Structure 1
């Protein structure tokens, strides 16, 4: 394997997973276009969309796992914490929902899937712009109250849509947790990463049944992910919550623009 390709894949894995740990997303929003265009532009590799999808799914899996481990390692003295009950309820909902969405996607036209993705991205931006009534900072041991039935139902619906469009679902899950469930920003970011990890388990299992996995490129992307995600998680715990929220809004807005440009 060419040394330049190894370096490129390490860097791309690091960049995508850094944003994963920083903002509580799976990282595919960042890594997918990078993996698709950067290696080709540099002339080191030409991955197909299917191959990029496979690399990205493994990157999301290991980046979210590394990010979760970093948050757990922070301990109770750190402001960014994972809410275990939210992970159990919303994680189970999004897992079953994504499996159902994956089955439904096979019967939908590609343009319909893109439109669904685009509409959801706009809804996510609108939700992020609505002022949250929840406390911005969440501390370890802080009691968080939420409607368990609603949390399961909404995460199941998000899972269906994420399964249809082939995304982790964090771009819509995070605004729902912040605005609808009124979960504090720091707890939302840390917890959503754990939920994305659960969602990615099914995605990786599905990819393993296909032959479109460039294993060497995937390996070095994953290695980069294991470095970048803990760095992003560490910085997220240090950053002002206001700036984290702005960063989320910008990232989700860019996603909406990208999707609608491809549709129109």
Structure 2
């Protein structure tokens, strides 16, 4: 019976990783925005010992690392023969900035209690929803990567701040970076999605380093969540290139909104 329970628990972790990474590839996010509540609630629903918010943040950050890596590889394979949608200068500037911020945040999370981590996650989700419903100019959608310009100081500063709070909750930060890139930096949607995976990967490098230093990662549950993430990201990336840009944006808004409502209900009730 014990073996059956262990197998079931690890299967659940694979499914959680798969769901999160599917949305990672589909919408250019690291998957943490959906994985955080799944890891927090789903194991308990099946009668298993739940994870603490610190453990959830650590598992989620490790999953984000591998999901974003897998998504990047799939994106590169899918784009062969066509123009690259990754803005390399943007990735380098925002990626390094969010890496530093994420490292700081992930180390700082070991000094915070569970309620504070959940509240920070809730605030990030609400901010992301608000920013995603702000309309952007559709005329920029057809711009090639070489013609896209943006405010460098704003991009670097925003990435650093997002990196800090994302490192605390175990996120790559894309669920808030994407709205910033779309609404404030005016980056076209498809370039935003393609570039955000690379930015999230660099953010996750800093986050994972910090979580390993703090020692909060449950190894085996994290391993099986990663296995699931490696399965889901390529499928999400494949579908993202065959869907309407507006549908991608609306799907991201709905995903974040549902998650925000759930986490705040638990905080306030």
Which of the five TM-score ranges fits, normalised by the shorter chain?
0.7 to 0.9
1:41 corresponds to which of 35, 39, 45: 45
Shift of 1:29: 1.8
Counterpart CA distance in 1 for 2:70 and 2:164 is: 25
Query: In structure 2, how many angstroms separate the alpha carbons of the residues matched to 1:52 and 1:255?
Result: 15
Q: 1:131 aligns with which of 121, 132, 135?
A: 135
Q: Report if the CA contact (8 A) 1:21-1:233 is conserved.
A: yes
**Structure 2 alignment gaps of length 5 or more:** none
Shift of 1:104: 5.4
Deviation at 1:32, TM superposition (A): 2.4
Which position in structure 2 is the counterpart of 1:73?
77
Specify the alignment match of 2:86 in structure 1.
82
CA contact (8 A) 1:14 1:225 kept: yes
**More helix by proportion, 1 or 2?**
2
* Number of residue-to-residue matches in the alignment: 263
Contact 1:72 1:82 in 2 (8 A): no
CA–CA separation in structure 2 for the residues paired with 1:107 and 1:64: 27
Deviation at 1:226, TM superposition (A): 0.9
Determine which of 200, 224, 232 is the counterpart of 2:204: 200
**What is the TM-score with the length of structure 2 in the denominator?**
0.85
Q: Out of 114-123 and 140-149, give the one that drifted further.
A: 114-123
**In structure 2, do the counterparts of structure 1 residues 218 and 258 end up closer, same or farther at CA, with 3 Å as the change threshold?**
same
Change (3 A) 1:109 1:47: closer
Q: Which consecutive unaligned segments of at least 5 residues does structure 1 have? A: none
Q: Is the CA contact (8 Å cut-off) linking 1:94 and 1:158 kept in structure 2? A: yes
The alpha carbon displacement at 1:179 in A equals 0.5
Residues 4 and 80 of structure 1, relative CA distance in 2, 3 Å threshold: farther
